[in-house]
């Protein structure tokens, strides 16, 4: 069994924002896997969907704790399904990665991302992760954007098509992790 977590914020005002890139990938995986509908699970404070892919049972998770407390939702899900950290794949936006790029790692620290700080606090550093590059200030968006308004902003028209392609690549990277391993996913999709 594998758990795939997309980090994001619940609520209409956060839909389609850069900070919800993890949820965008989860929505694409949900469709790709023809998964069950997402259901709010009060005991986890998350939306959860069950799926299978290539014989592997998959739990798709959208924490509803808001970004900075994501680990508070994921840890109880991990305990409930008895899934170790190395089988929990976390997908999130990253301001330190160029727009449209993917960075996949087998484990590591949280960097500057508050959602990842919460994940590491609750799960340790031993879970794989996929960072989706959202930094476009000075290239496809104005350079003078303040960080908070930038990450909570929506992709502009010029960025939307590139982001759609990035989500497709992220879906393929997750599928490779499931069918092969994290090393194969890193070798094929980092860049």
What amino acid positions are annotated as catalytic residues?
19
> CB–CB of 191/170 below 8 Å?
no
CA 89 – CA 169 distance, rounded (Å): 15
Alpha helix (H) ranges present in the chain?
Answer: 21-32, 70-81, 114-123, 147-151, 157-179, 182-189
- Report the candidate in 175, 88, 97, 91 with the shortest Cα–Cα distance to residue 125: 88
Q: Tokens 């977590």 label which residue?
A: 5
List CB contacts of 31: < 8 A, sequence separation 6 or more: none
CA 14 – CA 11 distance, rounded (Å): 6
> CB–CB of 131/92 below 8 Å?
yes
């Amino acid at each position: 069994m594998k758990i795939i977590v997309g980090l994001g914020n619940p609520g209409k005002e956060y839909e389609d924002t850069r900070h919800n890139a993890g949820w965008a990938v989860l929505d694409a995986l949900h469709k790709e896997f023809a998964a069950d509908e997402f259901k709010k699970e009060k005991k986890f404070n998350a939306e959860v969907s069950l799926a299978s892919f290539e014989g592997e049972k998959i739990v798709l998770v959208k924490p509803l704790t808001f970004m900075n407390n994501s680990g508070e939702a994921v840890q109880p899900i991990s305990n409930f399904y008895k899934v170790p950290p190395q089988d929990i794949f976390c997908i999130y936006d990253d301001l330190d990665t160029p727009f449209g790029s993917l960075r996949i790692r087998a484990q590591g620290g949280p960097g500057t991302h508050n959602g990842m700080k919460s994940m590491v606090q609750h799960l340790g550093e031993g879970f794989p992760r996929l960072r989706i590059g959202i930094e476009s200030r000075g290239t496809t968006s104005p350079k003078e954007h303040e960080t908070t308004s930038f990450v909570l902003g929506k992709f502009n028209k010029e960025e939307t098509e590139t982001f759609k392609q990035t989500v497709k690549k992220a879906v393929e990277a997750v599928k490779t992790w499931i069918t092969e391993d994290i090393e194969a996913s890193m070798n094929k999709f980092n860049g």
